[in-house]
Chains A and B, each alone.
Chain A
Amino acid sequence: MRAYIIKRLLLMIPTLFGITLISFSIIRLAPGDPAVLKARAGSEGITDQAMAKKIIEQTQRIYGLDKPILLNFKLWTVDKNIARLKDMLKDGDVPYEIKDPLLTKIKRAGKGVVYPAMTAFLSGEGSQVFREDLIDVIINRTPLRVVEGWSLAEKESYIRDWWKNNEREYRLTGSGKLLMTFTEAQYGNWVRRLVTLNFGESFKDKRPVIDILKERVPVSIRITMTGLFLAYLIAIPIGVFSATHQYSLLDKMLTTFLFMLYSMPSFWVATMMIVYLCGGDFWNLFPVSGLHSINWQDMPIFKQLLDHVWHLILPVVCFTYGSFAFLSRMMRTGMLETIRQDFITTARAKGLSERVVIMKHAFRNSVIPIVTMLSALLPWMIGGSFIIETIFTIPGMGYLGFTSILARDYPVIMAIFTISALLDLIGILLSDITYALVDPRISYT
Chain B
Amino acid sequence: MTAVDLDGVTVTYGTGQHLMRAVDNVNLRVPADGVLGLVGESGSGKSTLARALVGLVDIDEGRILHDGQDLDDLPARARRQRRRRVQMVFQDPFGSLNPRMTVGDTLLEAIRTTRMLPRSMRSGEVVELLDLVSLDARYARLLPRELSGGQRQRVAIARALAAKPDVLVADEITSALDASVQGAILNLIRDLRERLRISVLLISHNLSVVRYVSDTIAVMYLGRVVETATTDELLTAPQHPYTRALLDAVPRLGLDALPTSAVLDEDPADPHDPPLGCHFHPRCPMGPVLHPDRVVCRTEDPSREAGTRPHQAACHFPGVHTLA
Q: Do A and B come from one complex?
A: no
Q: B residues engaging A (CB < 8 A)?
A: none
List the interface of chain A (C-beta within 8 A of B): none
